[in-house]
Amino acid sequence: MGMFKKAVRFATNEVTLWTLGLIALFLAGDMPGPSICLFKWMGIERCWGCGLGHAVHDALHLDLAGSFAHHPLGIPVLAVILGRVIGLARRSIQPPIPPTWTRKTC
């Protein structure tokens, strides 16, 4: 398998995983039932990871004040993830640019 095909397969898998993660965060919110957070299991009420997840959830719903209240880095994290998804999707669609230099063999 060529290097380009491997790169496209990796980029497609990563785009799929990030997109599914963002969809899950968009739909999740405060769901009743047991939490998957280890800190909540230990009885710690405030967790940075949970706050970041809630912040991204609120940012996806365009509640920017709520997002900042949960975690100040929620909006920048969402911007980085969306930038990564768009960059990977763009890279997997465009053909690779051939190098301008060639390797000399003896």
- pLDDT tens digits along 46-99: 787 888 888 999 999 999 999 999 899 999 999 999 999 998 888 777 766 666
Domain boundaries, the chain: 31-91
pLDDT, one tens digit per residue, over 2-44 is 665 665 566 678 888 888 889 988 888 666 777 778 888 888 8
DSSP for the chain, written as a single string: --HHHHHHHHHHHHHHHHHHHHHHHHHHSS-SS----HHHHTT-S--HHHHHHHHHHHHHTT-HHHHHHH-TTHHHHHHHHHHHHHHHHHHHHSPPPPPSS-----
Whether the predicted model's global pTM rises above the 0.85 cut: no
